[in-house]
Amino acid sequence: MKAIFSLILLLLSNTAFSDDESGVSNNRLNKYFHTDLDYEAFFNELKAGLLSGDKEKVASLNLYPIRVNYPEKSVYYDTVEEFIDNYDKIIRTEMLSRVEKQEFSSLFYNYNGMHIGFGDIWFSGICVDGESCESLSINVWAYSVLSIEEK
């Protein structure tokens, strides 16, 4: 079952919303998510925090309670402190390897948000001022602790 789930994630990550050779289409992205610039800035901030090992920075980018999908079950961490206490169980070397390779232009996205790697980290935005959506809050809403062999 785990292998089937991993295969589905792999296939979706490579094909689902791929626009062309240039990757993420700003026009399509803007239809889904308000503005691509907000998401690209968030992605760069998250990636920098993860790769530098800045637990506090990464924790500050989460929406709480934050869902973490482990192979055996999903767990919700209610606070920044809980997330930081469990950081090393969540943010693994394999995940960081995929984060390091990930470019904004090749992110997978759909109506749920955007994800890094094979669904390792999901993030999305919420309009905080109603329909005008002039103010956007972008946060990570889920992590998946996956072990997938890359070829």
149 part of a folded domain: no
For the chain, the distance separating the N- and C-terminal CA atoms, rounded to the nearest angstrom, is 20
15 part of a folded domain: yes
How would residue 31 be classed by pLDDT, with cut points 50, 70 and 90?
A: low
Q: How many Å apart are CA 125 and CA 34, to the nearest integer?
A: 9
Domain, as residue range, for 51 = 2-144
Q: How many Å apart are CA 116 and CA 123, to the nearest integer?
A: 9
- Least-confidence region, from 3-12, 75-84, 110-119: 3-12
127 part of a folded domain: yes
pLDDT at position 26: 57
pLDDT in tens, 100-111: 999 998 888 888
60 part of a folded domain: yes
How would residue 55 be classed by pLDDT, with cut points 50, 70 and 90?
A: very high
pLDDT in tens, 72-91: 999 999 999 999 999 999 99
| Count: domains in the chain | 1
Q: How many Å apart are CA 46 and CA 95, to the nearest integer?
A: 13
Which of residues 25 and 65 earns the better pLDDT score? 65
